[in-house]
A and B are shown apart, each in its own frame.
Chain A
């Protein structure tokens, strides 16, 4: 079998397309559970804050703790010994995820402290916009679906901040959290 330049070019184009597609799908599949967990955290916490008649002081800290435990649970599952043994890429992955998560938390706390963002609306919208931009940045390398999720999240957060007043928390919970849950499910699709 001999190939000419056109056939070789076509084969290389097919290879490039298939590799990029499978690589994106792999990353999507890995990211999806984290998006669903974050969306659930957001949805539950904000609906409780909006509608619960009970003391709301501990709502976000408790939801954050449960969510963080779930994040680490998924991370441990994704980096179980079987995976590490097969794939060098998974070695040390759990600790990298932990460090990234702690860095994000530290950034949030530092930003709130420096800018004095005490108002819940400001904090909520800032977190939404921050994660939206983060997803866009990650999506530039991972794939367009992540970019779409990021843009939706950032835009919905800004719309909430400027246009929604009485039911702001319910809006952020349903729209922001719901968008993340749907995005996570969408990322899992082929």
Chain B
């Protein structure tokens, strides 16, 4: 049995990765939408995104729509693999 992914397993990051994994491959979600979904603050969500960006689990894209700044987030291939491995680990625990 492989071990848990300690970066992913933290409660907010787990929900964040699950939310991103629930989207079609390559699809990005806006920061504001993610914040509302997770009921997180700007600072809190930003910190968790940084923690997930460091190992390459997510990618963060920043651009402008007109004059408004926009931040979008997507799960990467490495992130999908790590998340799926973590879910498999959790299922192994349940199955005994």
Chain A residues at the B interface, C-beta cutoff of 8 Å: 1-5, 8-9, 11-12, 14-23, 25-26, 83, 85-90, 190
Contact = CB atoms under 8 A, between A and B. Distances in A.
B14 A15 contact: yes
Contacts of B4: 1-3
A89 B26 CA distance: 9
B26 A86 contact: yes
A25 B30 CA distance: 12
Contacts of B3: 1
A18 B23 CA distance: 11
B9 interface: yes
B27 A26 contact: yes
B41 to A, nearest CB: 15
A141 B1 CA distance: 34
A85 B25 CA distance: 10
B94 interface: yes
Contacts of B23: 22-23, 26
Contacts of B36: 190
Contacts of A89: 24-25, 27
A13 to B, nearest CB: 10
A9 B18 CA distance: 15
Interface in B1-58: 3-4, 6, 9, 11, 14-16, 18-29, 33, 36-37
A87 B24 contact: yes
B60 interface: no
A14 to B, nearest CB: 6
B94 A8 contact: yes
Contact of A18 (B15, B26, B91): B15
14 contacts: A1-B3, A5-B96, A8-B94, A12-B94, A15-B14, A17-B18, A18-B14, A19-B18, A20-B22, A26-B23, A26-B27, A86-B27, A87-B26, A190-B37
A158 B14 CA distance: 45
Contacts of B87: 12, 15
Nearest to A4: B93
Nearest to B6: A1
A11 B90 contact: yes
A4 B92 CA distance: 11
Contact of A1 (B9, B21, B25, B28): B9
A18 B22 contact: yes
Contact of A9 (B22, B25, B94, B96): B94
Contact of B25 (A17, A19, A87): A87
A26 B6 CA distance: 28
